[in-house]
Structure 1
Amino acid sequence: MFQVIWIVIVGAVLGYLAKFLLSGKQSIPAWLTVLCGMLGALIGNFLATMIGVNDTRGIDWIRHILQIGCAVVAVAAGSAAWPRIRSRD
């Protein structure tokens, strides 16, 4: 159960950090920001594993940079898709 809470917390931090790093206003709801952050963490971890930098001695800087980069891409995609999704309602 604690792992699920930790995943949500990391997703929130990455999602809001990605919104901060993107220029302009991202008009997406909080739940979508957290979901995009979680997706960024998942894809960033996958990429770090694929290139062999997922578990290193010390702080895994490359993995964290990949997670942030993937979260930025996910938030940008979510921000672009949200008006179209919302207009369907």
Structure 2
Amino acid sequence: MTITGIITALIVGLIIGALGRLVVPGRQNIPLWLTLVIGVAAALLGTVVARALGFADTAGWDWRELATQVVLAAVGVALVTGFAGRRSVSRY
């Protein structure tokens, strides 16, 4: 993978993560870097799912693949927010 591919994957991951974060209702107390990680993972997993279902290789912009990626990012953000909310922070 070239440096351009890595930078593109990070930008797409950030966008997918932000869209997933917007879909989840309420406030999410997770940092930007974690949103990026969730977005990149959701983008990769969404592409794998789209290829497995046979709708990843279409002409033009593939809205079904994008929707799959955003849904996976939303699930990831919701799970991470749920786990982060369960931690008890001691404040003295």
Structures share a fold, TM > 0.5? Answer: yes
Instruction: Give the drift of 1:8.
Output: 0.7
Question: Number of matched residues?
Answer: 87
2:44 matched to which residue of 1?
42
Matches of 1:55 and 1:85 in 2, distance apart?
42
Match status 1:73 vs 2:81: no
TM-score (norm 2): 0.85
Runs of 4+ aligned residues of structure 1 deviating over 4 Å after TM superposition are 83-87
| Identity among equivalent pairs (%) | 34
1:17 matched to which residue of 2?
19
Change (3 A) 1:50 1:85: farther
Give unpaired runs (5+ residues) of structure 1: none
Instruction: Give the drift of 1:82.
Output: 2.6
| SS of match in other structure, 1:26 | coil
Give unpaired runs (5+ residues) of structure 2: none
Instruction: Give the drift of 1:84.
Output: 5.2
What RMSD over aligned residues (CA atoms) do the two structures have, in Å? 1.6
Matches of 1:86 and 1:24 in 2, distance apart?
19
Match status 1:30 vs 2:32: yes
Segment drifting more, 76-85 vs 66-75: 76-85
